[in-house]
């Protein structure tokens, strides 16, 4: 019975430590992801500005 209690205590301590480490990594790290710029929409806007309707139509699959 004593061996089972020791095993349970070790599992309990490991579980509590893993939750604390997970929370620290999730909330207290300084790394924040940078927002991703939508590349496709900027490329389409560039095509529109240059007046390349044919290229724009081939990319979008539509015809004007």
Domain spans of the chain? 1-32, 37-64
First to last CA, the chain: 80
Largest CA distance in the chain: 81
**Dist CA 24 CA 22 (whole Å):** 5
For residues 49, 52, 58 and 60, what is the CA-based torsion angle, rounded to 10 degrees? Answer: 20
Token couple for 48:
């529109």
Instruction: Please give the model's pTM, rounded to 2 decimal places.
Output: 0.44
> How confident is the model over 32-53, as pLDDT tens digits?
666 666 666 666 676 666 665 5
Rounded percentage of the chain residues whose pLDDT exceeds 70: 47
Predicted local distance difference test score (pLDDT) of residue 7: 97
């Amino acid at each position: 019975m004593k061996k089972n209690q020791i095993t349970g205590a070790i599992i309990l301590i490991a579980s509590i430590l893993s939750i604390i480490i997970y929370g620290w990594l999730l909330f207290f790290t300084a790394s924040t992801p940078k927002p991703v710029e939508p590349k496709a929409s900027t490329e389409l806007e560039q095509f529109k500005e240059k007046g390349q309707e044919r290229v724009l139509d081939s990319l979008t699959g539509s015809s004007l």
